[in-house]
């Protein structure tokens, strides 16, 4: 469903885009069916061997969402592993997500390691990103979760992490939309923040290399090797683990829900549903007609969540509207690790081959910056422009 407005997109003479080709490459590299099952069970055997004498042999990040909850079930009930659930609490969880974590862990008898950030400090980071006029509004959560997972691995001597991402159901967000790294967060917070980051678990390069290149902690995405059907997973979780659906992808966290349902569509005209629906079409789980019909519906947001954002971050309606219409900036306006990632491309290629970093990281962050930038709708002379069936067709 992508057109030529999608970041970094190219088409061959047959009209096939590079994102479809990337999907096909990943599909070949990470097979499902009997071959994928064989690989996954061999990997589980290796993990159990590495975990001998330890209380846990794999770390699984949890959010209360479908993917991470299913990962716990897969790790323990299917692969016979001893997982430790790890949660980064940015203090914006929905009630449903919190209850899901509790219910799933209780049903599976799995321990939980939680890192809770100071809420005033974290809210100040959000205010900094809003005040800077950048699109990467929730990148801190992904960085902090990654750090928390490494911290848990180090504390318990675990060498493996499971991540719940599936390119067949989620796709891969293009670099031209969002960016994240520790140096970027610190640089932006130093310029726009009002407090020092004391509890925020930032992922500094020295720590990242110590955990990956030295300690050899591996990141595994098991869903790459299974025919993962989210509707089937949700039914299993609901029937067996007292899990509850929260209404949509990324909606288990209230601030993340705001970013995907309001901030990105309203400020930039970006509809992240395109990623998931296009991935489902490529993997044969949805027809293109169905995808076009779903994405043509206006993106709905929860007014209560929007009001919570304004109230908790201390903005009046007028102040918030000014933030939504600020001149645009990007990570290029701040100090980042991007050029370092590019210079170390050779190292990250080796690390990707050794399962120390995901292939998506290698593909996006070590490729030379093409200069693609999200332009706010206000700077394009328009208001909110929902995607239409005609535009996609």
Confidence of residue 360 (pLDDT cuts 50, 70, 90): confident
When the pLDDT of each residue in the chain is averaged and rounded to a whole number, the result is 91
In which residue are the tokens 């296009």 written? 278
- How are strands ordered across the β-sheet holding 83-89? 112-116, 83-89, 58-61, 160-162, 218-220
* Pairwise CA distance, residues 310 & 295, whole Å: 27
**Residue 381's pLDDT is what?**
62
- Give the model confidence (pLDDT) of 106-145 as tens digits: 999 999 999 999 999 999 999 999 999 999 999 999 999 9
Q: Most confidently modeled of 7-11, 93-97, 123-127, 384-388?
A: 123-127
What mean pLDDT do residues 286-309 have? 92
Q: How far is CA 79 from the centre of its chain?
A: 24
CA gap 233, 69 in Å, rounded: 9
Give the model confidence (pLDDT) of 334-355 as tens digits. Answer: 999 999 999 999 999 999 999 9
State the Cα–Cα distance between residues 316 and 45, nearest whole angstrom.
Answer: 56
pLDDT over 90 (residue 246): no
SS (H, E, C) the chain: CCCCCCCCCCECCCCCEHHHHHHHHHHHHCCCHHHHHHHHHHHHHHHHHHCCCCCCCEEEECCCCHHHHHHHHHHHHHCCCCEEEEEEECCCECHHHHHHHHHHHHHHCCCEEEEECCHHHHHHHHHHHHHHCCCCCCHHHHHHHHHHHHHHHHHHCCCEEECCCCHHHHCCCCCCCCCCCHHHHHHHHHHHCCCCCCCCCCCCHHHHHHHHHHCCCEEECHHHHCCCCHHHHHHHHHHHHCCCCCCCCCCCEHHHHHHHHHHHHHHHCCCCHHHHHHHHHHCCCCCHHHHHHHHCCCCCCCHHHHHHHHHHHCCCHHHHHHHCCCCCCCHHHCCCCHHHHHHCHHHHHHHHHCCCCCHHHHHHHCCCCCCCCCCCHHHHCCCCCCCCHHHHC
**pLDDT tens per residue, range 25-52:** 999 999 999 999 999 999 999 999 999 9
Mean per-residue pLDDT for 185-211? 96
Query: What's the pLDDT at 384?
Result: 42
pLDDT of the residue at 252? 81
At a CB cut-off of 8 Å and minimum separation 6, what does 326 contact? 131, 133
**Does residue 72 contact residue 171 with C-beta atoms inside 8 Å?**
no
Instruction: Specify whether the CB–CB gap between 377 and 385 falls below 8 A.
Output: yes
pLDDT tens-place string over residues 376-388:
887 776 544 443 3
Asked if residue 393 has pLDDT above 60, the reply is: no
- Candidates 308, 334, 333, 302; CA nearest to 320 is 308
Between residues 246 and 68, the one the model is more confident about: 68
How far apart CA 294 and CA 281 sit, in angstroms, is 12
Q: Taking every pair of C-alpha atoms in the chain, what is the biggest distance, in angstroms? A: 63
pLDDT at 288: 93
Position 387 scores a pLDDT of: 37
Residue 389: pLDDT band by 50, 70, 90 thresholds?
very low
Instruction: Kindly give, in sequence order, each residue whose CB lies less than 8 Å from that of residue 355, ignoring residues fewer than 6 positions away.
Output: 218, 219, 220
Residue 161: pLDDT above 50? Answer: yes
pLDDT of residue 391: 35
Residue 252 CA, distance from chain mean position? 13
pLDDT, tens only, 301-322: 999 999 999 999 999 999 999 9
Fold of the CATH domain 18-250+330-366: Rossmann fold (3.40.50)
pLDDT at 376: 87
pTM of the model: 0.92
Residue range 264-288, pLDDT digits in tens: 999 999 999 999 999 999 999 999 9
Residue 220 β-bridge partners: 162
On whether the CB atoms of residues 332 and 181 are closer than 8 A, the answer is no
**Cα–Cα dist 313/284, whole Å:** 42
Residue written as token pair 């970094």: 8
Give the count of alpha carbons within 13 A of 94, CB side only.
Answer: 23
Q: Is the pLDDT of residue 356 over 50?
A: yes
Domain boundaries, the chain: 18-250+330-366
- Contact between residue 36 and residue 226 where contact means Cβ atoms under 8 Å apart: yes
* Least trusted range by pLDDT, from 162-176, 209-223, 365-379: 365-379
| Mean of pLDDT values over 81-106 | 96
What per-residue confidence (pLDDT) applies to 369?
81
């Amino acid at each position: 469903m992508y057109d030529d407005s999608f970041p970094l997109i190219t088409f061959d003479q047959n009209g096939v885009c590079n994102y479809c080709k990337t999907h096909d490459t990943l599909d070949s590299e990470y097979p499902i069916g009997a071959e994928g099952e064989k690989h996954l069970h061999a990997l589980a055997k290796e993990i159990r061997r590495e975990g001998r004498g330890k209380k846990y042999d794999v770390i699984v990040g949890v959010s209360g969402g479908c993917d991470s909850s299913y990962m716990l079930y897969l790790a323990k009930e299917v692969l016979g592993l001893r997982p430790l659930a790890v949660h980064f609490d940015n203090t914006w969880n929905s009630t449903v997500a919190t209850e899901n974590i509790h219910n799933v862990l209780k049903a599976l008898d799995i321990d939980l390691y939680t890192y809770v950030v100071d809420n005033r400090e974290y809210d100040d980071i959000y205010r900094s990103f809003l005040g800077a006029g950048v699109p990467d509004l929730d990148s801190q959560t992904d960085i902090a979760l990654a750090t928390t997972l490494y911290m848990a691995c180090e504390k318990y001597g675990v060498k493996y992490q499971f991540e719940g991402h599936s390119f067949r159901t989620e796709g891969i967000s293009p670099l031209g939309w969002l960016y994240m790294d520790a140096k970027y967060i610190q640089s932006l917070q130093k310029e726009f923040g009002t407090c020092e980051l004391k509890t925020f678990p930032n992922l500094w390069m020295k720590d990242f290399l110590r955990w990956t290149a030295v300690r050899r902690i591996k990141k595994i995405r098991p869903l790459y090797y299974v025919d993962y059907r989210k509707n089937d997973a949700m039914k299993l979780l609901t029937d067996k683990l007292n899990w509850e659906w929260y209404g949509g992808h990324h909606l288990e966290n209230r601030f993340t829900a705001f970013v995907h349902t309001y901030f990105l569509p309203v400020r930039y005209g970006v509809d992240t549903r395109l990623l998931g629906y296009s991935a489902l079409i490529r993997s044969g789980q949805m027809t293109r007609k169905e995808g076009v019909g779903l994405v043509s519906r206006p993106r709905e947001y929860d007014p209560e969540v929007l009001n919570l954002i304004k109230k908790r971050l201390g903005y009046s309606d007028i102040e918030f509207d000014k933030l939504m219409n600020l001149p645009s900036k990007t990570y290029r306006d701040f100090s980042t690790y991007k050029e370092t990632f590019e210079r170390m491309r050779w190292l990250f290629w080796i690390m990707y081959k050794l399962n120390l970093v995901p292939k998506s990281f290698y593909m996006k962050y070590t490729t030379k910056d093409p200069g693609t930038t999200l332009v706010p709708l206000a700077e394009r002379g328009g208001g909110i422009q929902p995607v239409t069936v005609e535009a996609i067709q």
